[in-house]
Every structure is written in C-alpha cells, then in structure tokens.
Amino acid sequence: MHRHGAARRTAPGPRTPPGPGAAPGPGTAPGPAAVPGAGRSVARPLPRLAAPLLAGLLLGGPLLTGCTSATRSDPEPAPTSPSSPATAPASAPASTPASAPATAPSRQPPPQLTEGQVNAAVARIDAYAQDALTKSGVPGLALAVVYKDKVIHTKGLGVRQLGKPEVVDQDTVFQLASLSKPISSTVVAGVVGQQTVKWDDPVTTHDPGFALADPWVGSHVTIADLFAHRSGLPDHAGDLLEDLGYPRDYILQHLRDHQLAPFRASYAYTNYGLTEAAVAVAKAKGVAWEDLAADVVYKPLGMNSTSSLRSAYDSAANKATPHVRTDSGWQVSATENPDPQAPAGGVSSTVQDLGRWMRLQLGDGTFEGRKIVDPAALNRTRLPQSVSNPATDAAGRTGFYGLGWNVSYDPEGRLRLNHSGAFSLGAATVVTLLPSEQLGIVVLTNGQPSGVPEAVGEEFFDLAQYGHETVDWLGYLSKVVPAAAQSAASPTDYAKPPAGAAAAKADPVYVGTYGNGYFGSMTVSAEGGGLVMTLGPENLKFPLQHYDGDVFSFRTRGENAAGLSGVTFTVGADGQASTVVVEQFDHDGLGTFTRG
C-alpha cells in the first residue's frame, strides 16, 4: 500500500447484531467480505496491484485502506461490534406528560456508554496492547483515549528501536501514513470555514494547470471529489512514480495520463488525487501545504510535535524507528520520504498531540473554548460521499468514504469515523471516533502492517460496549491486515524459468535508451556481466535476470515491492529491441517504453 491506509479491496464484512436474548461471544472473524466495484469513463483494465497502505483498514463494517502505495492504504475499513442485550445502554431521561416534544429528531442516538464502562475499558487496554506486542513482536506502540473533551489516558509500550534501550512514551513521534488524510481534511475544513475555498470548488479554480485525461472531468472535479476518491482516477495513481523518486509536481502533472473510471460513480483510493486537492487549497491561500497545515491546525491546537515535513520526523530526538518483519524476525528499516504526498500520508505526530486533534474533532471544531474549524465545514467531512464497501448480504452494512474518513454506522446506529495508515516499510496506525459517545482512540506502532493497532482499537470498543471481546481481534486481524497490505505478486514465478527456456540474445540487442511519457527515460546497459535497467530522476538501478527468450525479470523494491516482476523486450526486424514492457508498471497500460 503506498503507505497509507487505503485498504485494498479485500475487506471483511460487517457483523450483524445478535438476535433477541443472544449474548455476543468471542468469534473468530466478522462476516462475509465486501468488495467494492469499479467503473470507468474511458475503458481501462482493472488495477492489479495489491494495496500497500491500508488507508482505512477498518472502515466501519467491512474491514480494510493508506497506507502503502501501489494498488494496495495507505487503507482500509474497520469491523464493528454487534449490539448486545447483555450490556444495556445508558438510558435517556424519562419523559413526562408535561415534557415538550423535541423540535427535530436527534442527529445521533443518545450516548449508550457510561463513564464507568469507558474507564473499565481503559483499565484493561494497556495489558491487551502489551500482549499484542509480545505475540506479534512489533517493537513499540503508543495509544491515547479521548472522552468528553479530555485525554483520559495515554500509554507508551515497547521500544523506539530494536537493540536500543529508549522506550516509547506519549511524546514519541511516529509516522502516521494514511492517518494523515483525516488530519488534512480537518485543515481544508478550516480553510473552507475561512471562506477562502468551498468543498465544491472545481480544483482548477485554484490550480488552473491541473488536468485529467477527460478534459470535462478535469475542469469539473472538485476538492470534495478528490478527497472522496471518486474522481475516476485508478487506485493509487501516481504512487509508482513516487517509488522511482519523482517529485510532487511531476506526479500531479502526470495524473492526466491515467484513463478514468466513471466520474462520481466509482471509488478508487488515490493518494495523489487527494494531494492535488490539498495543494489547490494551499495555492488558494498563497502558501505551501505544509505551512497551511501548521497555521490552521497544528499551531492553534498546540500540536508542537506534529509536522507535514519528513525533515521534522528525521530531526526528532524522541522518534519511533520503522521496522519490518523478515524470515529471521523483526529488523530496523527505513521508509520512503512521503513529502510528495504529504497531505495523504506525510504527517508525523505523537499520541499526545493527536489527543488534541481528537478533542477538536469530537468538539465539532471547538478546542478549549475557541472555534478553530467551522463546524459545518467539518461536518461535511463525516458525511458518506462514496460507497467504498458495498454490503454483500441483506443483513450486512455498507461502508462509505467521506472526505478523508472511512464513514460507517455501527449496530447501535452510531456514526463511526475511522482511518488506518500503513507503510509496508515500517509503520501502522489507526484512529477511530464515536462522536455520539464523545469517545475516540488512536494507536500508533513502529512496525509494518501487522493488525496490532487495529486489534487494539477494536478491543477497546468491545470492552467499553460489552465488557469483553466479541471477536479474537488479534488472531483475526494479524492474518487479514498483512495479507491486505501485501502488493500483488506477478502470476509468473520468474525464479523458475520454464524447462527448455530459450536463450537470450546478445546484450547489444537490448542495450539502449527507451522513452515513456509517464515513467520517463529508461536506460538498459551491460554491467558486470549482465543487463541493468536504470530508471527515474535518481537513476535507480535494477539488475535484470534472464527468464526465457527476450523476457527478463527484476526485483521490485520500495513501498510497492512485489517480488520479481517481468521485463519483456520486443525485437524488430533490424535485430534491435524496439520496445520494452515493464510488468509492474503496466497495470494501467502505461508500462511500455520505446527505443529513442
């Protein structure tokens, strides 16, 4: 997933409430999976990459979203807990014959949780989180719980980096991956409240140079469309360019090269679509996005350890180092620089700071008596905008995407806001809010997607609602989340050439420079007794291994790494290779390079 949460399209479906008299018991998994569909405006093949970022790993009914990059998310939806007669909701004040009727229905059901239930859940969640670290091997975790406008609990567990003694605490800085998205929509809501932009402004109003493959769509797509992932761009469009080291401006300019699915009729998670919308808002204010985020949200809330710049994370003395799991265990890693897509996945922060942001969210834009964000503009982010996970059975619940939020409604009828973040190279995060309860939790970890943060979050709400877990969340999510975060491997096993494989031609047949309007120039050279493919502005080198005839393979790397992928040359009548197709780059038909 390119980091960030967008869960790819494999998500477990919501559970249904137990029938009358039935008490919820621990299960092994929620119900059937929901798989969102896709549409088109110009015909294109469906994406074939797996989601590297779970951007909303747990949406509100269907599970899994983001953060890694390719077609992973980012992810990204969250399972919800069944209602239970065993735990009665807090009762509303009894009405009397003299009571006047309300002038309008309540926007949310009355609170069902008591302070005692929440405190009981808080008292048990640290032990659960510690057990999850022990079982999974994830090095470190931090969490914070907000309730009724107070950060009532923070906790750091484990270490910042394996092999070093420094422990995680409430002030440890983590990379957030796709948890950046609801933070960025908060920033935009703040600017909307200042009446500088509107959610329904066409992006070209503020960034006239922006374009898409369909000129009409390009001129009509709005800020809200891109934050809701309904522009028609394919899943994670642009993320592979980031893997090659291209800067933000280049990537946003080349979104126009992607064929589109039906405008406003399809959902596909796009880090760079959302980034373009955020950049357009910053242009309307005449400042860089990173400065806008600080001015509108971070500084007013006193989020002094929060930034949208990678350099701030790198320079933090108290930071969580990323880790990945290998065959020999967990080891220190290094994530890619997410600055190009900072609004979608580039925020770093602490649970202490995020507690302040959750208070703002649950306070409808007000923080410590000050209105920071217009409540109407903020409320727009919480409304369903796109169907991200259709129900797959009559008793199921549909999962939606709002503006930077996974939006769902739990079995008790409560609005549930959620987003996961994931870097396949070493970070996994989640935040979940129940606005009607004034309750939220954020969980940050310094390991690749493992299911741990999502399990801790789900366990907390089970403990608060029912007093016990309804599903073995860690057992379930430790299987589902890593699988969803894994980029799809090639159907061809390039490590095993076929019997009787044809020999390759002489190196000079393939050596040369090839051009591609999207991925740029590729150079194939003979080095060290083999062929090497060089790509991107940083001249990244990928050694080629022969497979069969004019087909070679290379080992992918970065957030979208998917093992070995094919490189197929076509040799012309003149005895020289004329074109080369790179399999990993060809999911949207953009992977053909032509000899220059």
| Length in residues, the chain | 596
Position 91 confidence tier, pLDDT thresholds 50, 70, 90: very low
pLDDT value, residue 103: 67
Which of 332, 347, 382 minimizes the C-alpha distance to 173?
Answer: 347
pLDDT value, residue 65: 38
Domain ranges of the chain: 2-11+31-86+108-179+287-485, 187-285, 507-595
Most confident of 8-17, 48-57, 151-160: 151-160
Partner residues linked to 153 by β-bridges: 145
> What Rg, from alpha-carbon coordinates, does the chain have?
24
How does pLDDT run across 474-485, given as a tens digit for each residue? 999 999 999 888
Examine the pLDDT at 133 and tell me if it is beyond 90: yes
Residue 40 burial (CB count, 10 A):
17
Position 5 confidence tier, pLDDT thresholds 50, 70, 90: low
CATH class of the domain at 507-595? mainly beta
Examine the pLDDT at 61 and tell me if it is beyond 80: no
Q: In what order do the strands lie in the sheet with 406-409?
A: 150-158, 140-147, 439-445, 427-434, 415-423, 406-409, 399-401, 386-389
How does pLDDT run across 180-217, given as a tens digit for each residue? 999 999 999 999 999 999 999 999 999 999 999 999 99
Displacement of CA 474 from its chain's centroid (Å): 20
Q: How far apart are CA 292 and CA 194, in angstroms?
A: 13
Mean pLDDT of 554-572: 95
Pairing of the two strands 399-401 and 150-158: unpaired
Q: How far apart are CA 190 and CA 179, in angstroms?
A: 18
User: Phi and psi dihedrals of 576, rounded to 5?
Assistant: -115, 145
Examine the pLDDT at 591 and tell me if it is beyond 90: yes
Q: What's the predicted TM-score (pTM) here?
A: 0.86
Residue 470 burial (CB count, 10 A):
24
Comparing 100-104, 270-274, 430-434, 462-466, the range with the smallest average pLDDT is 100-104
pLDDT value, residue 411: 87
- The structural architecture, per CATH, of the domain 2-11+31-86+108-179+287-485 is 3-Layer(aba) Sandwich (3.40)
Which of 453, 495, 458, 460 minimizes the C-alpha distance to 473?
Answer: 458
